[in-house]
Structure 1
Amino acid sequence: MDAILALVCFGLVVLGMVPTAASFAQYLLVGLHGIRNHYARAGSATPRVAFLLPAWNEADVLGTSIDQLMAIDYPAGAWRLYIVDDASTDHTPEVMAGKMAQYPGAVFHLRREKGGQGKAHTLNHGIAQVLADDWAEAVMIMDADVLFEAQTLRRMVRHLADPEVGGVTAYVKEGSQPGGLLTRFIGFEYVTAQAAARRAQNVMGGLACMAGGAQLHSRANLEAIGAAIDTSTLAEDTFTTFRTVLAGRRVLLDPNAVVWAEEPDSVAALWKQRLRWCRGNLQIMRAFAHIWFRPWRNHLLGDWAFGVLWFSVALMPVFMLAGSVGLVGLFELWPSWVLIAFESVWLLTFVSFLFQTLFSFAIDPAEARRSWFEGLAFPGLLALGIMAIALVAPFADLCWLSGAKPTFWGNILAHVILGWSAISTFAAWGIYRLDKAGAPKWLRNLLLVLFGYGPLLCAITFASIVAELRKADAKWDKTVKTGKVKLPRT
């Protein structure tokens, strides 16, 4: 019986390695983007573009966003900006009156008198009005705080010259000024999750999600997917991406098209934002259950590789918990094998971490200069210590880890190290609770550096799984922005 349990534990260890292996494999594809991309089929088209900007009590950032958009490099009269006001209760109407007078015929205020239903409902109000006439040939969906670099629109629309392309997204960068430790963590995360991961997905043939802050649709694509954004999930941008792919059109990232966004500077605000994102991913997983791992139903979304990547992110804490339980179980049941399993897990983690971090720094050198420390501390300094133990393990006598007559404290240390993936995730939840309770920022930052930003994301994902299982209220809850985002000086 013990042998069977030990084999089960070994299987759990292997399962726990899936997200790391999938992420590493995805990064290996990034290098192919230089030869497998869409630029050869792009053109110099400049379609008429309607920008849709949903806003609810965004008066503090609207003026800056509108002024900046009016300065982009695009033919005069070939784009319009529609602010879809979701019954704002601040001074948004006054701001909009001033901006419409400043930019006559280019800026429009579309106000909903009854709001509060969420971003998707607000967007649908705007889409219906924009598509009511034939002026718009493409629609750009964006957020109120997002700032476009001058060439971003041109770089995105060139892909619509290919009729097979239905949607294009930009590389969203964190641009809060002044920034802090948390926003720099997010900045580095965006290099890995967007500049790198979406390049790899381009190589695979399409994206899992067009960024909600900057997604460009051809008019034909919007009409093909019903001329409306899904309102049944918290991930309307991902749902729209999936529907575009299922309608037979490509979606892709142009990594040279850059927009800047303000991200949360508190763990509590980040938790609220990412909980919504993660719950949306789980809802997508359920809504498209008939497609997963069925390539004959869709060559991209149903592909096995795509499915493994999706589930390794959406269910990451499940994999992490499985790995921790497996290692601790081996320590108790089959101690002669636990050191080999430990080395396999953490050496793969180290190689993947080192490769992805250095690759990310090479992809975006400017962000590397800004957030190099956060990139190195992403898994947590304590996790780096465990990687160091794995590196020296082949040359050291780690009897306390191999189960060969460990001392009391050696036994405790072994359990902590072997169960670190689960322990760090629980510790990250504790950091969130401390931050929500008003703990000093220096304490929050110290704990984040020690336990890692990656485990924090894992903890949020775990909370989203619990919320979905409990069928908690799925109300769309916006992230408060303060107007701290600024374009970098060139």
Structure 2
Amino acid sequence: MFGAHGGLILVAGYALMLSWPISTVALVTIAVRYVASRRRDVVTKSLANGDGTPEHFWIIVPALNEEVVVGNTVRAALGLTGPGNTLARVLVVDDGSDDRTPDVLAAIDHPRLHVMRRELPDARKGKGEALNAAYRYIAEQTAQAGVSPDKVVLGIIDGDGQGSPNILLEVSRMLRDTAIGAVQVQVRIRNRNKLLGAVQDLEFATIVNACQSLRDRLDTVGLGGNGQFTRLSALLALGDAPWSACLVEDLELGLRMHLDGIGIRYTSRAAVTQQAVVDVRRLTRQRTRWAQGNLQCARYLRQLVTSKRIGLTSLAEVLHYLFSPWINALVTVVLAGLVAMSTPGWSDLAAGGAVWLGITWFPGFVWALVHRYRLHDETLPRLLLAAVAYPAFLLLGLVATYRAIGRQATGRQAWAKTERLAEEPLPTSALALAA
């Protein structure tokens, strides 16, 4: 049995564990109550601040060895329409591909498709450099055409991404407010027929969506690598290279925008779909890169803390999503230490393990029910199966976090792109009509 000292340690451990399900319930409650009121706010502010509705859209597709998916991505992007049937131009940045990506792109004959081929040594310096090259090209084209950069929007859709049909309309609605410089749309997973894909969709469609909705209320929305839409004028305010060599260039861009006073909004009324990583080793590698990128963004800590543009509550949320991987890793170590210090007996250890399992599984089941309630596009049995697997998915994330710490400490910065899975080609009939 526990002594007094061990009992106190056990209570502390339980308090730490219980903070997770309690915060989950709070986040769900805030996110659900938030949606209706925020939609009213968007309309009110857009009418008050003037009409900043975009008139020109560019979809940038960064492509490095994307032969199995880039054809579908480009066809889907060319089919998107904005307000007044505005059609987007698509700029593919072929960043030195050595597979059949150039052949796939050459086979798409369309007047609104532009292909920028980057060769070594300029190519393959990271996604940020590819996006910067596209941005400079678009800025030059906009200036030559005499178009106001306030009316031009750059959307980023990854090589495996496909935007929902209403995506440009929804982005335009959010950007009617001239104070808003960027919009992040919801991210969904297409290949969720496999368990890892289903768990990743549970993550993006519910947890990330709820977090972004809360950040939208606090004016701290983070930009994602897929589905970000930014005014050209907002990017011009950040100089010749808005994106950096950071491993999460999207997160860093969002931080720079917040520090510069550029408003960012989030919407779940439109989405971009992407492929899940369904191989455990590759998924760990992807999450390691994301975690290391978060650590690299710690260099903005001083600017964030001293910024007069960011309120105390907003600052707390920015720091939370910036450092949450490291907080989770630290809490795991603390819990393990508390268990070791308490020296429980076998019966106590079994009871504690049962409580731990219940607490660990609870949030996944809550998010599964939220997914079913909000989206109605997945069966409840599959969602519950994803909820059962969710704790193992989180454990994989912890492993990735520790790997990221090791990589950052040893100065390893190289990254490997995410592999793609072949898909059925999209029909070209609608694309021909949109030409």
The TM-score, its normalising length taken from structure 1, stands at 0.74
**2: CA distance between counterparts of 1:95 and 1:233?**
29
Count of aligned positions: 408
Counterpart check, 1:172 vs 2:187: yes
Tell me how far 1:188 sits from its aligned partner. Answer: 1.3
Q: Could you tell me which residue of structure 1 aligns to residue 66 of structure 2?
A: 58
- The superposition leaves residues 1-20 of structure 1 with CA deviations (integer Å, 9 ceiling, x where unpaired) of x9778767765664555555
Backbone CA RMSD of aligned residues: 3.3
Q: Could you tell me which residue of structure 1 aligns to residue 252 of structure 2?
A: 239
**2: CA distance between counterparts of 1:486 and 1:159?**
32
Counterpart check, 1:26 vs 2:27: yes
Counterpart check, 1:279 vs 2:280: no
Counterpart check, 1:95 vs 2:107: no
Structure 2 counterparts to residues 258-337 of structure 1, below 5 A: 258-284=271-297, 286-291=298-303, 296=308, 298-299=310-311, 303-332=315-344
**1: CA distance between counterparts of 2:307 and 2:347?**
41
Structure 2 counterparts to residues 71-470 of structure 1, below 5 A: 71-74=79-82, 75=84, 78-99=87-108, 102-104=109-111, 106-114=112-120, 115-134=123-142, 135=147, 137-176=152-191, 179-207=193-221, 209-284=222-297, 286-291=298-303, 296=308, 298-299=310-311, 303-332=315-344, 352-369=363-380, 371-380=382-391, 452-470=392-410
> Are the structure 2 counterparts of residues 295 and 370 from structure 1 closer, same or farther at C-alpha, using a change threshold of 3 Å?
farther
- The superposition leaves residues 77-97 of structure 1 with CA deviations (integer Å, 9 ceiling, x where unpaired) of 642111111122223333333
Tell me how far 1:355 sits from its aligned partner. Answer: 3.5
Tell me how far 1:485 sits from its aligned partner. Answer: 7.8
Tell me how far 1:189 sits from its aligned partner. Answer: 1.5
Counterpart of 1:288 in 2: which secondary structure?
helix
Tell me how far 1:330 sits from its aligned partner. Answer: 2.4
Amino acid of the structure 1 residue aligned with 2:418: T
Counterpart of 1:373 in 2: which secondary structure?
helix
Structure 1 stretches lacking a partner, 5+ long: 381-451
Tell me the percent identity: 20
> Are the structure 2 counterparts of residues 17 and 46 from structure 1 closer, same or farther at C-alpha, using a change threshold of 3 Å?
same
> Are the structure 2 counterparts of residues 309 and 109 from structure 1 closer, same or farther at C-alpha, using a change threshold of 3 Å?
closer
**1: CA distance between counterparts of 2:182 and 2:125?**
25
Larger Rg: 1
8 Å Cα contact 1:260-1:485 kept in structure 2? no
> Are the structure 2 counterparts of residues 83 and 12 from structure 1 closer, same or farther at C-alpha, using a change threshold of 3 Å?
same
Tell me how far 1:58 sits from its aligned partner. Answer: 1.4
Amino acid of the structure 1 residue aligned with 2:94: D
**2: CA distance between counterparts of 1:34 and 1:23?**
17
Q: Could you tell me which residue of structure 2 aligns to residue 443 of structure 1?
A: none
- The superposition leaves residues 98-124 of structure 1 with CA deviations (integer Å, 9 ceiling, x where unpaired) of 32xx212x1111111221211111111
8 Å Cα contact 1:24-1:356 kept in structure 2? no
Tell me how far 1:126 sits from its aligned partner. Answer: 0.8
- The superposition leaves residues 408-450 of structure 1 with CA deviations (integer Å, 9 ceiling, x where unpaired) of xxxxxxxxxxxxxxxxxxxxxxxxxxxxxxxxxxxxxxxxxxx
8 Å Cα contact 1:85-1:111 kept in structure 2? yes
- The superposition leaves residues 330-388 of structure 1 with CA deviations (integer Å, 9 ceiling, x where unpaired) of 2449x9999998898677656545434322332222135483133331345xxxxxxxx
8 Å Cα contact 1:195-1:363 kept in structure 2? no
Counterpart of 2:335 in 1: which secondary structure?
helix
Q: Could you tell me which residue of structure 2 aligns to residue 474 of structure 1?
A: 413
**2: CA distance between counterparts of 1:180 and 1:292?**
40
**2: CA distance between counterparts of 1:126 and 1:303?**
32
**1: CA distance between counterparts of 2:179 and 2:132?**
24
